[in-house]
A and B are shown apart, each in its own frame.
Chain A
Amino acid sequence: MTPPQRKRRRPRPELAPPPLPSVPPTPESGGEDGDNKNPERLYVISGADGARAELDLVTLIVARAAPPPSVTPEQAALLRLCLAPLSVAELSAYLNLPFSAMTALITELITAELVQARAPIVRQALPDRSLLEAVMHGLQKL
């Protein structure tokens, strides 16, 4: 029996991801220190063109404060969930909210300085070899 035949496709540069700046996992990025006064700094990663990167499925969200009385029950539920870091995807799953509704809710909480967002490391034109090696090492332990 011969298998069906596929034909490979060429890269289409217009579909490739825009070049993104490296986003190193800096400790306490978006922490309490003075140069993070602007809450936008916590979730907007400026690209070369100044474009804003939006919340990703694997952006880690961490509560910065206990839920104040002013928040909605929905926001309070989210704040309780992310006492330890949790990805946007996990929050969406636990709160049973669609991804888009989830990002809107998180954006409100970032603006209110109630949560901190830790940006994911994304694929780059030239991937970081030490990152790949760390992932391999972690998988080997599974």
Chain B
Amino acid sequence: MDFKNSDTIPGPRTEDHLPHTAQAAVKIVIVGGFGVGKTTMVGSVSEIRPLTTEETMTQAGIGVDDNYGSESKTATTVAMDFGRISITDQLVLYLFGTPGQERFWFLWNGLFEGALGAVVLIDTRRLEVSFDVMGRLEERGVPFVVAVNSFPDAPRYPIEELRTALDLSPEIPIIECDARRRASSRDVLMTLMRFLHSLAMSGALT
């Protein structure tokens, strides 16, 4: 990038500027296997055109040890798209569409640690691609809801059959959605927030 010509660096459109009163941000991660609709969901609810943050990792970090220690470490670029929703003049919500593989997560500090919670997107044609990520969230204690992205040719299972297959306890919400539709994606986020709220309430009672 040519920083000498920094006047031409693309920035937010004027209408996308956050107010000066914006004091803090929270984040939610949208996670799932390859091609399940993460980018689509981020884009459908974001108030800004979705953006991409990248990080590079060397092969040693990927866990491929064939070339470990060799001079030519190849670097892989990992991209993560994200969007934004202004909640109040003070509070901003960011949504990150995160690759399912945990080996990428450490590239961004606190991506999961600080998140309010997660949406796990699943595609019933390839349920198993989201198994690992759910286990990782369970291990880390990140609360999540499951959103079933309705692809037209995908098998439709009753929710309770899915719950059994995914081995999810009864309180974890499972909902159908169409990630291309803003209202549907918004409902998924609302379901996550209500779930987090119920966890907070029950936590407060014990």
Q: Chain A residues near B204 (CB, 8 Å)?
A: 126, 129
Q: B82–A139 contact, CB under 8 A? A: no
Q: Which of A25, A76, A80, A81 contacts B91 (CB 8 A)?
A: A25
CA separation between A136 and B195, bound complex, in Å? 11
* Interface membership of chain A positions 118-142, coded 1 if the CB is closer than 8 angstroms to chain B and 0 otherwise: 1111110111110111111111101
Task: Flag if B86 contacts A85 (CB, 8 Å).
Answer: no
Q: Does B1 contact A (CB under 8 A)?
A: yes
A90 near B12 with CB under 8 A, answer: yes
A79-107 residues with Cβ-Cβ distance < 8 A to B are 80-81, 84-87, 89-90, 92-100, 103
Do A27 and B23 contact each other (CB < 8 Å), given the known contacts A8-B167, A126-B204?
yes
Across-interface contacts of B12 in A (CB, < 8 A): 81, 84, 86, 90, 94
Number of B interface residues, CB 8 Å? 82
B9 touches A77 (CB 8 A): yes
With a 10 A CB-CB cut-off, give which of B56, B108, B114, B201 has the most chain A CB atoms: B114
Residues of A within 8 A of B194 (CB): 136
Contact indicator B22/A118 (Cβ below 8 Å)? yes
| Interface-lining segment among B24-32, B33-41, B65-73 | B24-32
Quick check: B127 and A136 within 8 Å, CB to CB? no
Q: Is the CB of B193 within 8 A of A136?
A: yes
Query: B190 — nearest CB in chain A belongs to which residue?
Result: A139
B113 within 8 A of A: yes
Among candidates A5, A123, A135, A136, residue contacting B167 with C-beta atoms closer than 8 Å = A5
Tally of A interface residues using CB under 8 Å:
75
CA distance A137 to B106 in the complex (A): 31
> Bound state CA distance, A135 and B166, in angstroms?
28
Instruction: Considering the complex, give the chain B residue whose CB is closest to the CB of A120.
Output: B25
Contact digits for B4-33, partner A, Cβ 8 Å, 1 yes 0 no:
101101111000011110111111000000
A56-B11 contact in complex given A1-B155, A89-B53, A136-B197, C-beta closer than 8 Å: no
Bound-state Cα–Cα, A37 to B6, Å: 30
The CB with the most chain A CB atoms within 10 A, among B9, B165, B196, is that of B9
For the complex, give the distance between the alpha carbons of A128 and B203 in Å: 11
Q: Which residues of B contact A (CB under 8 A)?
A: 1, 3-4, 6-7, 9-12, 17-20, 22-27, 45, 51-56, 82, 84-88, 90-94, 96, 107-111, 113-117, 124, 127-128, 131, 134-136, 138-142, 155, 157, 161-162, 165-169, 182, 186, 189-190, 193-194, 196-197, 199-201, 203-204
Q: Which 7 A-B pairs have the closest CB atoms?
A: A138-B87, A122-B114, A77-B6, A93-B51, A73-B3, A25-B23, A25-B24
